């Protein structure tokens, strides 16, 4: 499969309950992550993580699917059209 540049936006609403599992998946898929930024948003009681990734559609789906199945975690993603 052809790799494309993309991003993943992750909102972690229950940090104490889900941060360890989120970080485990990000470590497992670390080879596709180009950049990572995490911002704690204390006013809303959540954390926001943005990832820049270089990957194919299947691998993107595997990672976002695993993250999206964690309680208190919301995920959105997109890949560029250009290969």
pLDDT tens-digit series, residues 14-62:
878 898 999 999 999 999 999 999 999 989 889 999 999 999 999 999 9
Q: Give me the residue spans of the domains in the chain.
A: 4-76
3-state secondary structure of 77: strand
* pLDDT the model gives residue 28: 97
Q: Of 4, 23, 14, nearest to 46 (Cα)?
A: 14
The pTM of the full predicted model, rounded to 2 decimals, is: 0.91
Would you call 43 exposed, middle or buried from its count of C-beta atoms within 10 A (0-12, 13-18, 19+)?
A: exposed
Q: Which CATH superfamily is domain 4-76 in?
A: ACT-like. Chain A, domain 2 (3.30.70.1150)
């Amino acid at each position: 499969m052809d790799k494309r540049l993309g991003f993943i936006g992750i909102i972690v609403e229950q940090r104490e309950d889900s941060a360890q599992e989120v970080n485990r998946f990000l470590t497992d898929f670390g080879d596709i992550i180009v950049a990572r930024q995490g911002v704690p948003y204390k006013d809303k009681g959540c954390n926001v993580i943005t990832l820049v990734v270089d990957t194919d559609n299947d691998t993107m789906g595997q990672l976002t699917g695993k993250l999206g199945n964690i309680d208190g975690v919301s995920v959105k993603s997109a890949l560029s059209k250009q290969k």
